[in-house]
Chain A
Amino acid sequence: MNRNIIISFGLHTLLVIITAMSLPFLAKKPIDLPPIVSVELIQITDKTNIPFAPKAKKIIEKVKEKEKKLVSEQAPPKKIKKIKPDAVPLPDDKIDKIKKIKDKKQNPEKVETDVKQISEFEKKELFDSSDIAALIDKSKVESSQTTKKLDKITQNQDKEANFLGLTLSEEDALKAQIFGCWSIPLGLPYNENLLVRIKLQLKPDGSIIRTEILDHARMNKPGQKFYKVLAESALRAIKLCQPLRVPSKGYERWKELQLNFDAREMLEG
């Protein structure tokens, strides 16, 4: 009898303990921590700078007039100081921003998508976080953060670009240009080495300062007459194409460029 009471007591005690321990877990939903969103507080100007479509023209015209007066005062006109997104844009900056909008003929909300479509090196040039900061409305706090992130990426890429080669899009642009200029001599023998390497020295605008055929000795070798024909055709292509489609930034990395003209693929077809 006593034994049964003890067993019953024990089991009940266990039940009470389990219930006491498990119930709070069952009742409580798992903690769902939302991702941390960092919000930067931006001081918004009293008047928004967004040129709403119907009013845009008038605003732009006004700014244009204002700008005309100011341009002479700005020296040098190009370099704009980068301002943190939370900074209040100064009147001069406002003008610059609106000018950019006018040039692109677009709604400011489209800025981000358009920037995504252009190549990396252009991104930095066109994308300025301070522009965005000044253009956003109250409801666009989050977009400001996104643009800032993008800006950070491009800055890093630009730093790296000084050491790395051309980006794929830069290389493709250059290739596409030269493909159009190079008339391949069709009579070249298929089974020979049809590679001509030409080293270029370029000006910042892509025009040629100097060309150098790297395997120049082959030009006058017996049995290598075709090489001269090929090299001359490649030189003609470079001259016809200049100024070359080079990136607008990072001159230091591409001021010397080597083009490897290889006709095999085309001739073997």
Chain B
Amino acid sequence: MNLRYLVLLLILLPIKVFAVIEVDITRGNLNPLPVAVSPLSIDEKSKNSFKKILKKENIGEEISVIVENNLKQSGLFNPLNKDAFLQKPDIANLKPRFEDWNLIKAQILITGKVTFVDENLRVEFRLWDVLAGKEMMALAFTTVPSNWRRVGHIITDKVYETLTGEKGYFDTRIIYVSEEGPKTNRIKKLAIMDQDGFNNKYLTLGNELVLTPRFSPTNQMVTYLSYFRNLPRVYLLDIETGKQEVVGDFPGMTFAPRFSPDGKKIIMSFAKDGKSDIYTMDLENRIVERITNHPSIDTSPSYSPNGKYITFNSDRSGHQQIYVMNSNGKNAKRISFGNGIYGTPVWSPRGDLIAFTKLHKGKFYIGVMRADGSGERLLTENFYQEAPSWSPNGRVLIFYRETKTNSKGEGFSAKLWSIDLTGYNERMVETTTDASDPSWSSLLSN
């Protein structure tokens, strides 16, 4: 008997004595990560060549500034002041002296080199983990010199992906409605720009009123609404070729168009006899399919990223609310139950959230909720704001905000704003004119 106890004791004793202490770390901080973006080094010969072509004094520095600004805008990174850098860019790119970068509290270091090779721009960059003292990533790109801004965006996307675990959203464009003139007589043009506000271009002349442009999630096609003979129609525009066409020939009004996740269909509203229903059109064979058939006003449809569901807003309950249904129109369920009116639902590219505009007690909110309607979070509140559009990684929303006019009808402005899902990183997106109805493109380079 005693022997048994002894054996048991011998078995149990080592377990207790040699068990490693475990500590669960379930919380962290959401402070921006300190990043040192060293200017990309460039030799004199390349510098002079790019100076001639691009009229830029030091293209290496310019690209690093793009990366720095992008990282800062994201709210997740804190680019450190370059004045504090101790190591020169060319040496840092070869072998960083981690002690120096540690000294200025950098956790991450970005270095690189720019060269002029066969009339092309060659950029190599390296991402370093300062604390671990190791290289995390090294890539090189070759492109035409005029693409130098895109190179900066692509580098940022790679850095972002390596450090956050999700794809970036920097090498993207935003299409929007440019607005000029007095409020009562606005000239509205379709415009496109890089996500950081550069390379702005107008796609229409402003002769006709344009509304709700939406990017295709798969390519550089845009669908939008334009008035023709005082009747709104849905159009399709190929940005690369400039080719434009009317989608279908409906006897009534078509509006709120949006692409399906595979880019093969357009889903939109069609209004007739005082009611409005949701339709899809196959872009290959132009077959139109009716999705909802209800005496209420169903509009603003948006597909889930897997294409199985559609979210839309409807007043079938008496007030405008958000609904989710199967992509064939069956099993419609109301998901918004808060106080106020809900509209413009947009499904996140990640599939987890639906962004919306809410009107409650005279104020407009941009918010998100889960696809089942739970977890409603209002991210921002203002006098007037609407039309959220997701960044391709589902992390940031872009929308537009209008300011109040005074008693004389002056002071009106409409600007684009972005906000991330935390609700803290709210920024105005610079545009040359007033702007509304933004839509974010997918990544230009995957």
B30 pairs with A263, CB closer than 8 A: no
Cα separation A146 to B163 with both chains bound (whole Å) = 56
Which of chain A's residues has its CB closest to B18's CB?
A256
Which of chain A's residues has its CB closest to B105's CB?
A240
A229 pairs with B165, CB closer than 8 A: yes
Which of chain A's residues has its CB closest to B136's CB?
A232
Which of chain B's residues has its CB closest to A187's CB?
B166
Given contacts A179-B28, A187-B164, A187-B165, A232 and B129 within 8 Å (CB-CB): yes
**In the assembled complex, which residues on chain B have CB atoms less than 8 Å from the CB atom of A260?**
22-25
A183 pairs with B31, CB closer than 8 A: yes
- Shortest distance in angstroms between B112's beta carbon and chain A's nearest beta carbon? 21
A185 pairs with B163, CB closer than 8 A: yes
Binds B, one of A46-54, A83-91, A96-104, A163-171: A163-171
**In the assembled complex, which residues on chain A have CB atoms less than 8 Å from the CB atom of B27?**
175, 179, 182, 265-266
Cα separation A237 to B228 with both chains bound (whole Å) = 59
A182 pairs with B25, CB closer than 8 A: yes
**In the assembled complex, which residues on chain A have CB atoms less than 8 Å from the CB atom of B21?**
165-166, 253-254, 256-258
B23 pairs with A257, CB closer than 8 A: yes
Number of interface residues of A (CB under 8 A): 45
Given contacts A187-B393, A235-B132, A239-B132, A265 and B23 within 8 Å (CB-CB): no
Contact residues on B (Cβ < 8 Å of other chain), bracket: 20 to 34
Complex interface residues of chain B between 137 and 176 (CB less than 8 A to chain A): 160-167
Complex interface residues of chain B between 73 and 93 (CB less than 8 A to chain A): 76
A229 pairs with B163, CB closer than 8 A: yes
Determine whether A223 belongs to the interface, using a CB cutoff of 8 Å to chain B: no
Determine whether B119 belongs to the interface, using a CB cutoff of 8 Å to chain A: no
Contact with B along A177-217 (1 / 0, CB 8 A): 01111111111111000000001000000000000000000
Complex interface residues of chain A between 133 and 188 (CB less than 8 A to chain B): 163, 165-166, 171, 174-175, 178-188
Complex interface residues of chain A between 239 and 269 (CB less than 8 A to chain B): 239-240, 253-254, 256-266
B164 pairs with A240, CB closer than 8 A: no
Cα separation A257 to B20 with both chains bound (whole Å) = 6
Determine whether B239 belongs to the interface, using a CB cutoff of 8 Å to chain A: no
Determine whether A230 belongs to the interface, using a CB cutoff of 8 Å to chain B: yes
- Shortest distance in angstroms between A139's beta carbon and chain B's nearest beta carbon? 45
Determine whether A236 belongs to the interface, using a CB cutoff of 8 Å to chain B: yes
A240 pairs with B131, CB closer than 8 A: yes
Determine whether B8 belongs to the interface, using a CB cutoff of 8 Å to chain A: no
**In the assembled complex, which residues on chain A have CB atoms less than 8 Å from the CB atom of B19?**
165
Residue among A183, A235, A240, A265 facing the most chain B CB atoms (10 A cut-off): A183
**In the assembled complex, which residues on chain B have CB atoms less than 8 Å from the CB atom of A258?**
20-23
Given contacts A183-B29, A183-B33, A186-B76, A226 and B165 within 8 Å (CB-CB): yes
A190 pairs with B25, CB closer than 8 A: no
Determine whether A225 belongs to the interface, using a CB cutoff of 8 Å to chain B: yes
Determine whether B100 belongs to the interface, using a CB cutoff of 8 Å to chain A: no
B28 pairs with A237, CB closer than 8 A: yes
**In the assembled complex, which residues on chain B have CB atoms less than 8 Å from the CB atom of A178?**
25
A262 pairs with B20, CB closer than 8 A: no
- Shortest distance in angstroms between A1's beta carbon and chain B's nearest beta carbon? 80
A182 pairs with B28, CB closer than 8 A: yes
Cβ 8 A contact of B165, one of A179, A230, A253, A254: A230
Which of chain A's residues has its CB closest to B32's CB?
A183
Cβ 8 A contact of B29, one of A174, A184, A254, A259: A184
- Shortest distance in angstroms between B134's beta carbon and chain A's nearest beta carbon? 10
- Shortest distance in angstroms between B76's beta carbon and chain A's nearest beta carbon? 6
Cα separation A165 to B33 with both chains bound (whole Å) = 33
Which of chain B's residues has its CB closest to A191's CB?
B352
**In the assembled complex, which residues on chain B have CB atoms less than 8 Å from the CB atom of A226?**
165
B20 pairs with A183, CB closer than 8 A: no
**In the assembled complex, which residues on chain A have CB atoms less than 8 Å from the CB atom of B163?**
185, 229, 233
Residue among B76, B165, B166 facing the most chain A CB atoms (10 A cut-off): B165
Determine whether B16 belongs to the interface, using a CB cutoff of 8 Å to chain A: yes
Cα separation A87 to B352 with both chains bound (whole Å) = 72
Determine whether B184 belongs to the interface, using a CB cutoff of 8 Å to chain A: no
Which of chain A's residues has its CB closest to B350's CB?
A189
Determine whether B218 belongs to the interface, using a CB cutoff of 8 Å to chain A: no
A180 pairs with B23, CB closer than 8 A: no
B165 pairs with A225, CB closer than 8 A: yes
Determine whether B10 belongs to the interface, using a CB cutoff of 8 Å to chain A: no
**In the assembled complex, which residues on chain A have CB atoms less than 8 Å from the CB atom of B131?**
235-236, 239-240
Complex interface residues of chain B between 4 and 58 (CB less than 8 A to chain A): 16-17, 19-31, 33
Cα separation A178 to B25 with both chains bound (whole Å) = 7
Determine whether B107 belongs to the interface, using a CB cutoff of 8 Å to chain A: yes
B165 pairs with A188, CB closer than 8 A: yes
Determine whether B334 belongs to the interface, using a CB cutoff of 8 Å to chain A: no
- Shortest distance in angstroms between B240's beta carbon and chain A's nearest beta carbon? 30
**In the assembled complex, which residues on chain B have CB atoms less than 8 Å from the CB atom of A180?**
29
**In the assembled complex, which residues on chain B have CB atoms less than 8 Å from the CB atom of A239?**
131-132
**In the assembled complex, which residues on chain A have CB atoms less than 8 Å from the CB atom of B26?**
262, 264-266
Which of chain B's residues has its CB closest to A195's CB?
B24
Determine whether B395 belongs to the interface, using a CB cutoff of 8 Å to chain A: yes
- Shortest distance in angstroms between B186's beta carbon and chain A's nearest beta carbon? 38
Cα separation A263 to B27 with both chains bound (whole Å) = 7
**In the assembled complex, which residues on chain A have CB atoms less than 8 Å from the CB atom of B393?**
187
- Shortest distance in angstroms between A93's beta carbon and chain B's nearest beta carbon? 35
7 pairs of A and B residues whose beta carbons are closest in the complex:
A187-B166, A182-B28, A187-B164, A229-B165, A184-B28, A239-B131, A226-B165
Q: List 12 A-B contacts (CB under 8 A).
A: A163-B17, A165-B19, A179-B27, A179-B29, A183-B29, A183-B107, A186-B164, A233-B163, A239-B131, A257-B23, A259-B22, A260-B23
Known: A187-B166, A232-B129. 6 other contacts (CB 8 A): A166-B21, A175-B25, A183-B31, A190-B352, A237-B25, A258-B20
